[in-house]
Each structure stands twice: as C-alpha cells, then as structure tokens.
Structure 1
Amino acid sequence: MNITSIGSLESVSTYNKNYASKVSTTRNESFEALFESALSMINDTNSLTNAAEEEEMKYALGISTNTHDLQIAQSKANTSLQYTVAVRNKVVEAYKEIMSLQF
C-alpha cells in the first residue's frame, strides 16, 4: 500500500469541495442577477404605468391638451406590461416543465 496515493486522494477530495462551493456560489450569483433583472423590469413597468396615469390626469384636468404625449405614455406602459407578462408566462411555463421532470 502506497501512502502517497492516499495523500493524493485527500487533495482530490479537497479540490472537489472547493469546486462544489464555487459552483454553488456561481449558481447563487446567477439567480441573484436574474432576480434583480426581473425586479428591475417590474419597477420599470410600474413607473411607465404611473407616468401614463399622470398624463391621463393632466389631460382630464385640462392641464395638458397634447393627446400625442398621452398616447405615447399609454403605448409605452402597454408595451412594457405586455413584455413583463410574456416573460412571467415563460418563467411559469419553465417552472411547470421542471416540476414535471421525472428523476
């Protein structure tokens, strides 16, 4: 029995533990980046919706008579909301597909 071979197994074991912790950290960072991106998209959609509502109020109160600005704000809010809903639907679809996998 060679003692150096056992020592090399310990170094492989240490390498595997370090690699596993790095992979776990990378996965956490990836999820965090994805979550931050989704949160940013929701915040952008919310701000565009609020801007459209503000333009509607200005137009309704007679402060603004420019229908062009109102239509642009509504269009931006609508497009942003449609995109956010489409992304949400794809995430839910992917989640359902992952949950239906058989191991």
Structure 2
Amino acid sequence: MPIESVGNPASIMANPGYRNAIETTPAQAGNSFSTWLNDAVGNLNETRAASDVKTEAMARGEDVDLHQVMIAGQKASIALETTVEVRNKAIEAYQEIMRMQV
C-alpha cells in the first residue's frame, strides 16, 4: 500500500467527498468501524493459516525455504500483537468514556 503525500489542506477540503466523510452519523461510523474490525480479524486468520501451512509443509519435509517459514511466522505474530493492542486500546477508550460524568 503506497503512502501518498499530504498536499494543501484547502485542496482536500474543497473535495466534495470530504464533506461527506465528515458528516457521517454515529450509526454509519459504528458500521464502518465494525466492518474494518471484521476485515482485520479475517486478515489475521488468513495470515495465521498461511503460517501454519508453511510450517506444516516444512515439518513434512517438503521443499520450503526456512526463511519463508520464519517470515510467515513473524507476520502472523506481529498481526496478532497488533490486534491485541487495538483491542486493549478500544477497551481502554470504552472504560474512559464510562468514567466520564454526564
């Protein structure tokens, strides 16, 4: 995924789609976050499954490069750690909101 540079903020705000992105309802934002979270968990499962396949192939003695197995394992590990940290931050934010006095 390429990283694009940020241009002039005025040109971003002049984009008609920019106002639509800002003016979302809480329900739309919740659905968007839910969709993103489900996709992230699905991607985590795919990464873990790919790591398992390569590890099992190596254990069976198939022609698999050790560095590919290690890279797949590290990708799965990092994806899991990231998911756990996002979960922890979401729980922390929820707890902070619940502590707010209305």
Pair in the same fold by TM > 0.5: yes
Q: Counterpart of 1:14?
A: none
Q: Structure 2: state its 5+ residue gaps.
A: 1-22
| Bigger Rg over Cα | 1
Seq. identity, %: 31
Q: Counterpart of 2:30?
A: 31
Is 1:45 the equivalent of 2:80? no
Q: Counterpart of 2:15?
A: none
Q: Counterpart of 2:69?
A: 70
Q: Deviations over 1:27-75 (max 9, x none)?
A: 1111100010011111101100011011110000011341011011001
> Counterpart of 2:59 in structure 1: which amino acid?
A
Q: Deviations over 1:5-47 (max 9, x none)?
A: xxxxxxxxxxxxxxxxxx8x71111110001001111110110
Q: More helix per residue: 1 or 2?
A: 1
Q: Structure 1: state its 5+ residue gaps.
A: 1-22
Distance (whole Å) between structure 1 residues aligned to residue 48 and residue 32 of structure 2: 24
2:25 is paired with a residue of what secondary structure?
helix
Q: CA RMSD in A?
A: 1.4
Asked if structure 1 preserves the Cα contact closer than 8 Å seen for 2:44 and 2:79, the reply is yes
Residues matched between the structures, number: 80
